[in-house]
Amino acid sequence: MTESKAGTPNIQDVFLNYARRERLSVVVHLLDGRELEARIKNFDRFAVIIEHNGVDHLVFKHAIATIRTPRSVPNYFPSHHP
């Protein structure tokens, strides 16, 4: 997980890790207007691997407008964060 200079994980990694760990069905909105209902399988700094209709897709992050989860992510920062 990528961390900021202060040592806290970045908000994007927290969001994507939560959706991946919980195996949430998410809606990925691409910049070209398409929407994909998928599960996040893995990600790095540049891309997200999603499973859509039983097939894995490598989606570059620069092509993603938004990712919507069906429920809120409980906490974006560790409990010791102010």
What would the two tokens of residue 3 be? Answer: 């961390």
What would the two tokens of residue 35 be? Answer: 């929407």
Domain ranges of the chain: 11-68
Please report the pLDDT score of residue 7 as a whole number.
67
Note the pTM of the prediction, 2 decimals.
0.79
Single-letter residue type at 78: P
Mean pLDDT by 10 residues, the chain (82 residues): 64 93 96 97 97 97 96 68 48
CA dihedral 27, 19, 24, 64 (to 10 degrees): 10
Please report the pLDDT score of residue 72 as a whole number.
83
CATH of domain 11-68: 2.30.30.100
Please report the pLDDT score of residue 2 as a whole number.
56
DSSP 77: S
Please report the pLDDT score of residue 82 as a whole number.
47
